[in-house]
Amino acid sequence: MKCKDKVWVVSGGGNGMGREMVLELLKRGARVAAVDIHQGMLEETAQLALPGAALTLHLVDITDQQSVDRLPEEITRMHGNVDGLINNAGIIQPFVKVNDLDWPHIEKVMKVNFYGLLYMTKSFLPLLLKRPEAHIANVSSMGGFLPVPGQSVYGASKAAVKLLTEGLYAELSQTKVHVSIIFPGAIGTNITKNSGVEIKMPSGSESSNYKTLAPKTAANIMIDGIEKNQYRIFVGSDSKFMDTLYRIAPEWATRFIAKKMSALLGK
């Protein structure tokens, strides 16, 4: 579905990939409702937008179901309708093993990454089903199909996003609502800071030298894939490579990633 002249809702639109997707959609002639929990970040996104861009800002905690339920009416009042939903908002966990991860962090990760996405999807889907053409794009992660030690709960939340999105694709295949699942690899965002997580990378470790993809480049790949109605969108060569490797040799791939990440876990 082409972006031009369509109304798109983007969660996590205040920073990182979400911000870059908002800006890219606006460049392609779309109208955009940016959703985020941080007012200051939303305002920074607005300052970066083209003058006169059709952008509205919506301060919403997506883990608050009642607030999310009010959002479709608010956005349609401002834009007239909604044609596309990009569920991008997400956080990571502290880089520790499951045994050392406390319940508040576990619950927060699941609420933001899975339930928040589900609340947004359930709230907007009735509107999308009424449109001549619509699109839902859910951002999972490379960690949603490949286990990463120290991010097991985060990975579980993104795996839930993966399977939910695949189920939606099947359920909506006979409708005008397209569905895409997005798998970013390593992207150069502030997700650790925005998640309230501090990760100290040992100097000289393999992980500290890992190359990341620029958020702007990632956003272009994602929006291009959405416009082509791609079912699975891999963002970054690392994501594409590990998807193939994990399907061919899952145990070997798991051990490979564990070795790469061992420095972060003190091993």
**201 residue type, one letter:** M
- For 47, the enclosing helix (H) or strand (E) is helix 39-48
The residue among 89, 88, 106 whose CA lies nearest residue 97 is 106
Q: What is the dihedral of CA 182, 118, 194, 186, to 10 degrees?
A: -20
Q: Residue 218's pLDDT is what?
A: 97
pLDDT tens, residue order, the chain (267 aa): 999 999 999 999 999 999 999 999 999 999 999 999 999 999 999 999 999 999 999 999 999 999 999 999 999 999 999 999 999 999 999 999 999 999 999 999 999 999 999 999 999 999 999 999 999 999 999 999 999 999 999 999 999 999 999 999 999 999 999 999 999 999 986 665 665 665 554 444 444 455 789 999 999 999 999 999 999 999 999 999 999 999 999 999 999 999 988 877 765
Looking up tokens 């639109």, which residue turns up? 13
To 10 degrees, what angle do helices 152-171 and 116-128 make?
20
pTM over the 0.85 mark: yes
Total residues belonging to the chain: 267
User: Cβ contacts of residue 175 below 8 Å, gap of 6+?
Assistant: 129
For each of the domains in the chain, give its residue range(s) and CATH number, in order of start.
7-265 (3.40.50.720)
